[in-house]
Amino acid sequence: MIRVFMVEDHELVRAGIERLMADTADIRVRGTAATAAEALRRFGGSQFPFDVVLLGISLPDGNGLDLIRPLRGRAGGAPPVLVLSLHPAGQYALRAIRKGAAGYFAKDGAFEALAGAIRTVASGRRYLPPELAEKIVAEVAENRGEPTCSGLSDREFDVMRRIASGQRSKDIAAALSLNVKTVATFKARICRKTGLSGTAEIVRYALEHGIADGDCSP
C-alpha cells in the first residue's frame, strides 16, 4: 500500500483526492495538512510513516516549493515529493524539480493520471506529464537568444510573478515583508537577467509563458 501525505490548503481538494484514492487498490491518503507549519510539525520526528508527499504550491503561510528541501532534509529520510499545482507553466515544474521534487502534476489532470504519477514517484522514478515535458523542451528551444526567467532566484521569480499579476510595488513589499526600494532593486535585477525592459514587457512575457495567473498567495 502506498501511503500518501497531502499538503493542500483547499479542503474540498483534500477530501476529493482522499475519497478517490480510497477507491484504488494500492493508494491511501494517511495524513493531511492545510499549511506549511502544520506539515513541518508532522514531519518533525525521525520516523516518516508515508511513502509519497503530495504537495500544493499556494499555501496560506508560505510557498509549497519552499517546503521541498526541508522535507527532503528531515532526519531518517523523507519520501519523494509530487507537486500538485494549478500552475501549468514549465517554469514552475523546473523550479520544483530543481528544489528536489520527484514530479509535478497539474490539478486539471485526470485522476487516473494522478494515481499513475503517485505510483511512479513511489517507485523511485521521476514524473512529468508528457505534454509538460514537451512544453519544457519547447520553451528551452524557443528561449535560445530570447528573454528567459530560468536564471532568476526564487525571490526574483516571485516578485516577477507579482508584478505581472498587477500588484503595485507597495503591495509586493507588504506581502513579502520588504521595503519599496528593495522591490525596485529586485525589479532591476529581473530586467537585467531577463533582458526585459520594464513592467510592460514583464507582463507580456509572463502572460505568454503562463507565469501570471492572478494567484499570488505566498
For residue 120, what pLDDT is reported? 93
pTM value is 0.66
pLDDT digit string, tens, across residues 123-155? 988 888 776 666 666 655 555 444 567 678 888
Of residues 141 and 36, more confidently modeled: 36
Considering only residues 14 and 132, tell me which one the structure prediction assigns the higher pLDDT: 14
Instruction: Specify the amino acid at residue 171.
Output: D
What percent of the chain is modeled with pLDDT above 90?
27
* The pLDDT of residue 143: 52
In the chain, ranges of CATH 3.40.50.2300 domains? 2-137
CB-facing half-sphere around the CA of 111: CA atoms within 13 A: 11
Cell of 165: 499579476
- The CATH class for the domain spanning 2-137 reads alpha beta
- Burial grade of 101 (CB within 10 A; 0-12, 13-18, 19 or more): buried
Question: Residue 22, Cβ neighbours under 10 Å: how many?
Answer: 10
**At 21, which amino acid appears?**
M
CA 116-62-8 angle, 5° bins: 35
Question: Does residue 98 or residue 46 have the better pLDDT?
Answer: 98
Q: Which of 66-70, 145-149, 195-199 has the lowest mean pLDDT?
A: 145-149
Helix 180-194, helix 154-164: angle, nearest 10: 100
- Integer-rounded Cα Rg, in Å, for the chain is 18
Helix (H, G, I), strand (E, B) or coil at 11: helix
CATH code given to domain 154-208: 1.10.10.10
User: For the residues of 68-91, what is the DSSP string, one character each?
Assistant: HHHHHTSTT----EEEEES---HH
Domain with CATH 1.10.10.10 in the chain: 154-208
